[in-house]
């Protein structure tokens, strides 16, 4: 039939092809790490990297769901801070409180996501504004409650998840708990994105009218994305609290760092495009890069500058590439 038309148009890139650039960059960085630092000549070095990167990777997975469905979640950074501060205050060194506080944290994360999602979908406020408002509310509310400075302390068992691991594993020695948690979440996220719900979420970011007319519950799906993002912040808070301890700055700038990571993974702001694995790989790439810069003796202060250059370069690369592919 209309041969001329089909031929003059370009073929859709294979599913993985948007993931390939970030994986290639990641591979180069990982090799470079081995040359730059002796710690990376053994598996344990990479494991430590993964352990450091786990919170950001988990946040990236959460943010991916929101971005791919067409939104933004700027509230994750302050949510992480809020969660850690709340946990410290509630546990206050009491071992027996650990478990229920962790569950409560997950509950708070889901609730904040639910509120973000509900306001975005029911009141039709752009998610940029909603989550910006949520950021202000969380920042204010937490410190209102703690009176300006975080109080209390986390219990040792709470900190185990972020710090410790399973000892005596062959070859690598210790398998950090955070890596285990990360692995479980990655598997769940990939399975979710392959499920009917996951596919529909992607379609919502592309054309929500078509999904609604196709029998999908658009509001629920978009709200679900925010809930998942909130949950990811709660998990990240558990890991970060354990790893870095209690501070009022623990989540500072995380929202922008995680958006950088997701965008670095080739996920397009505005929705409908990108894979969850790539988003996560973007986070790992970002952390690897920081580690590498660290090893090369680049001052920590310049981390932001590098992050800024990368985020622009990644998107410019994708945009220019995309234009070239157009007929």
Partner 1 sequence: MTATATRQPVRRHGTRKFRLTPTMSVYIALVVLLVAGSVLVGMRGGVLLDHGGILNILTRGTVLGLVAIGQTMVILTGSLDLSVAYLIGLCSLIAAETMAGDPGMIVPAVLLTIGFAAVVGLVNGLVITALKVNAFIATLGVALIIRGYLENTYTGPAGSVPRGFQHLGYDRIGPIPVSTVVMLVLAVIVWWYLTRTKGGYHVYAVGGDEEVARLSGIRTGRTIVTMHVLCSVMAGLAALFLVSRLGSGAPYVGTDAGYDLESIAAVVLGGTLLSGGRGGVAGTIGGVLILATLDTIFDDLGVTPFLKDVVRGAVLIVAVALYARSQLARRAR
Partner 2 sequence: MAPIVRMSGISKQFLGVTVLKDVDLDLHGGEVHALVGENGAGKSTLMKVLAGAHRPDTGSIVLNGQEVSFASPRDAQRAGIAIVHQELTLLPDRSVAENVHLGREPVRRGQVDRRRMEADTADLLDRLGEHGIAPRTQVRRLPVAQQQVVEIVKALSMDARVIAMDEPTAALADHEVELLYDLVDRLRSSGIAVLYVSHRMREVFDLSQRITVLKDGTLVTSTRTNQITQDQVVRAMVGRPLDTMFPDRAKTRGTVRLAVRGGGNSRLHDISLELSAGEIVGLAGLQGAGRSAVARALCGVDPLTTGEFEVDGQPVRVRSPRAAIRHGIAHVTEDRKGEGLALRQSVHDNTMLVRNAAFGRRRIDVERLLRSVRLVSRGTDQEVRYLSGGNQQKVVLAKWLAVNPKVLVADEPTRGIDVGAKKTVYELLRELADSGVAILMISSELPELIGMSDRILVMHDGRLAGELPAGSSEEAVMSLATGGQA
Name the site residues for partner 1 (rule: CB under 8 A).
72, 119, 123-126, 128-130, 132-137, 139-141, 143-144, 148, 256, 259-260, 263, 269-270, 299-312, 315-316, 319-320, 323
Please tell me the distance from the alpha carbon of residue 175 to that of residue 237, in angstroms, as a whole number: 20
Please tell me the distance from the alpha carbon of residue 169 to that of residue 175, in angstroms, as a whole number: 7
Whether the CB-CB separation of 275 and 287 falls below 8 Å is answered with no
Q: How far is the CB of 327 from partner 2 (least distance, A)?
A: 7
User: Could you say which of partner 2, partner 1, none residue 124 binds, taking C-beta under 5 to 8 angstroms by partner kind?
Assistant: partner 1
Q: How far is the CB of 314 from partner 2 (least distance, A)?
A: 19
User: Could you say which of partner 1, partner 2, none residue 140 binds, taking C-beta under 5 to 8 angstroms by partner kind?
Assistant: partner 1
- For residues 2 and 249, which CB has a smaller minimum distance to partner 2 in the complex? 2
Select from 60, 36, 33 the least CA-distant residue to 47. 33
Site string for partner 2, 267-286 (x = CB under 8 A): -----xx-------------
The one among 45, 97, 157, 206 contacting partner 2 by CB under 8 A: 206
Question: Tokens in use for 142?
Answer: 């937490």
Question: Tokens in use for 174?
Answer: 């210790």
Q: How far is the CB of 129 from partner 1 (least distance, A)?
A: 5
- For residues 210 and 320, which CB has a smaller minimum distance to partner 1 in the complex? 320
- For residues 76 and 311, which CB has a smaller minimum distance to partner 1 in the complex? 311
State yes or no: residue 207 binds partner 2 (CB under 8 A). yes
Q: How far is the CB of 190 from partner 2 (least distance, A)?
A: 15
State yes or no: residue 249 binds partner 2 (CB under 8 A). no
State yes or no: residue 209 binds partner 2 (CB under 8 A). yes
State yes or no: residue 210 binds partner 2 (CB under 8 A). yes
Whether the CB-CB separation of 151 and 89 falls below 8 Å is answered with yes
């Amino acid at each position: 039939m209309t041969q001329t038309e089909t031929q003059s148009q370009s073929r859709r890139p294979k599913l993985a092809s948007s993931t390939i650039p970030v994986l290639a960059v990641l591979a180069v960085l990982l090799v470079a790490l081995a040359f730059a630092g002796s710690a990376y000549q053994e598996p344990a070095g990479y494991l430590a990297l993964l352990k450091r990167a786990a919170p950001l990777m988990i946040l990236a997975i959460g943010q991916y769901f929101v971005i791919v469905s067409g939104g933004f979640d700027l509230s994750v950074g302050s949510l992480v801070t809020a969660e850690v501060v709340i946990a410290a205050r509630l546990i206050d060194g009491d071992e027996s409180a650990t478990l229920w506080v962790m569950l409560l944290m997950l509950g708070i994360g889901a609730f904040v996501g639910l509120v973000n999602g509900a306001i975005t979908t029911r009141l039709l406020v752009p998610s940029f504004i909603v989550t910006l408002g949520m950021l202000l509310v969380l920042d204010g509310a937490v410190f209102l409650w703690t009176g300006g400075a975080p109080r209390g302390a986390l219990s040792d068992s709470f900190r185990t998840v972020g710090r410790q691991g399973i000892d005596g594993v062959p070859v690598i020695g210790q398998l950090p708990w955070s890596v285990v948690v990360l692995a479980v979440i990655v598997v769940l996220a990939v399975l979710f994105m392959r499920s009917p719900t996951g596919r529909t979420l992607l379609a919502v970011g592309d054309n929500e009218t078509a999904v609604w007319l196709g029998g999908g519950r658009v509001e629920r799906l978009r709200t679900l994305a925010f809930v998942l993002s909130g949950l990811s912040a709660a998990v990240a808070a558990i890991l970060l609290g354990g790893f870095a301890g209690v501070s009022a700055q623990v989540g500072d700038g995380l929202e922008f760092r995680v958006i950088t990571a997701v965008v670095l993974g080739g996920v397009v702001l505005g929705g409908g495009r990108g894979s969850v694995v790539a988003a996560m790989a973007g986070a790992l790439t970002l952390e690897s890069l920081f580690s590498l810069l660290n090893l090369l003796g680049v001052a920590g202060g310049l981390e932001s500058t590098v992050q800024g250059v990368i985020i622009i370069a990644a998107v410019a690369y994708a945009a220019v590439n995309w234009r070239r592919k157009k007929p």
